[in-house]
Amino acid sequence: CDRDKLKEILMNLISNALKYNRPGGSVGVSSYREPGRGLALTEVRDTGYGIPERMQDKIFQKFFRAKAKGTEEVLGTGLGLFIVKMLLEKMNGSIGFSSKEGEGSIFTFTLPAPREALDRTPQTGAAIPA
């Protein structure tokens, strides 16, 4: 696993979770292994504005920016999630998400995990106030 790529993936996902969160919301990050599959899973979740259902199929497209009520003044290029997806694919990983407008989003990505990483204790990060 390339540390620089992984850092960029996490920075993009956490940055989005913070930018698209409501005042007083929270952001959480957790990582664990998927039993029997040799994969490490990481989730970045927020209690933000969520992604409107009609825009969800475009969320990983280059330059696409979802617009939900409350996000009108959020600045961005629409490249973050596109870059995340491309980096994960280069590392034989994948990304998916679930989101409900007005409730927040959970982005989950998987990467192949070396055997020694699978033997470690699962890690869960504390919630980050937005």
Whether residue 116 has pLDDT greater than 70: no
Mind listing the domains of the chain with CATH numbers? 3-32+39-120 (3.30.565.10)
Please give the mean pLDDT across all residues of the chain.
86
Render pLDDT for 70-112 as a digit per residue (tens, 0 to 9).
666 777 778 999 999 999 999 999 999 999 998 999 999 999 9
pLDDT digits (tens, 9 = 90+) for 16-27: 999 989 889 999
Predicted model pTM: 0.84
- Write b or e for each residue in 86-101: b if 16 or more Cβ atoms lie within 10 A of its Cβ, otherwise e: ebbeebebebebebeb
Residue 127 CA to residue 44 CA, distance in Å, equals: 10
Are 117 and 64 spatial neighbours (Cβ–Cβ below 8 Å)? no
The per-residue pLDDT for 76 is 76
CA distances from 12 to 5, 35, 96, 119, 126 (A): 11, 27, 14, 27, 18
